[in-house]
């Protein structure tokens, strides 16, 4: 009897729905922190090494890997010895801009990076009032400058 099969299927489906009804899914953001998985892809973080030197050597690989063409880099030279200079190498990114109006958070930049200098961070609050504000500079993205939003917690 096909009618019975249909009724059975609906009943089964609704049973699952009703079973989860008491669960609290809604997070009271921003009063409560949002719980994110570790692999969550939010705003990028530019890393520094243990001595605070920027890891990025401005190789432009993230820029070419980016399918949205959101990354713009200008490289420069810093010939000072390691303790004084900005980056780990004499080549560093003088300008490192990511346009969050373009970025699609695919994470290709992270995979392209040969120096583990860029990773996708947890910050997800990426809304601004102007297009200019959507372009984030190196100074906004560096791990030493970027604050993790108080509105999130990372799943263990």
> Least distance (Å) from other proteins to the CB of residue 77?
6
Closest separation between CB of residue 67 and other proteins, Å?
Answer: 14
Q: Measured from the CB atom, is 71 or 103 closer to other proteins?
A: 71
**Nearest distance, CB of residue 89 and other proteins, angstroms:** 5
Asked if 64 is part of the footprint of other proteins (rule: CB under 8 A), the reply reads: yes
Are 127 and 97 in contact by the 8 Å Cβ rule? The answer is no
Collapsing DSSP states into helix, strand and coil, what is residue 71? strand
- Within 13 Å and on the Cβ side, how many CA atoms surround 62? 29
- Residues facing 114 on adjacent strands: none
How many binding residues for other proteins (CB under 8 A)? 16
Question: Quick one: 91 or 151, whose CB is closer to other proteins?
Answer: 91
Does 75 sit near other proteins (CB under 8 A)?
A: yes
Q: What are residue 112's phi and psi, to 5 degrees?
A: -75, -25
Cα(112)–Cα(114) distance, rounded to whole angstroms?
6
Q: Is 115 in the site for other proteins (CB under 8 A)?
A: yes
Cα dihedral sign for 64, 58, 127, 125? positive
Longest dimension (CA), the chain: 83
62 vs 152 by CB, closer to other proteins: 62
- The residues that touch other proteins, with contacts defined as CB under 8 A, are 57-61, 63-64, 74-77, 89-91, 114-115
């Amino acid at each position: 009897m096909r009618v019975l099969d249909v009724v059975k299927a609906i009943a089964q489906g609704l049973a699952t729905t009703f079973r989860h009804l008491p669960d609290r899914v809604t997070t009271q953001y921003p009063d409560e922190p949002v719980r994110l998985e570790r692999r969550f892809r939010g705003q990028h973080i530019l890393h520094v090494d243990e001595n605070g030197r920027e890891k990025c050597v401005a190789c432009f690989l993230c820029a070419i890997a980016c399918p949205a063409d959101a990354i713009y880099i200008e490289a420069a030279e810093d010939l000072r010895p390691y303790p004084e200079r900005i980056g780990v190498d004499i080549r560093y990114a003088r300008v490192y801009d990511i346009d969050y109006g373009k970025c699609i958070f695919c994470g290709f930049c992270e995979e392209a990076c040969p120096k583990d200098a860029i990773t996708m961070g947890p910050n997800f609050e990426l809304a601004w009032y102007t297009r200019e504000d959507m372009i984030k500079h190196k100074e906004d993205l560096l791990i030493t400058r970027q604050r993790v939003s108080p509105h999130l917690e990372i799943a263990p």
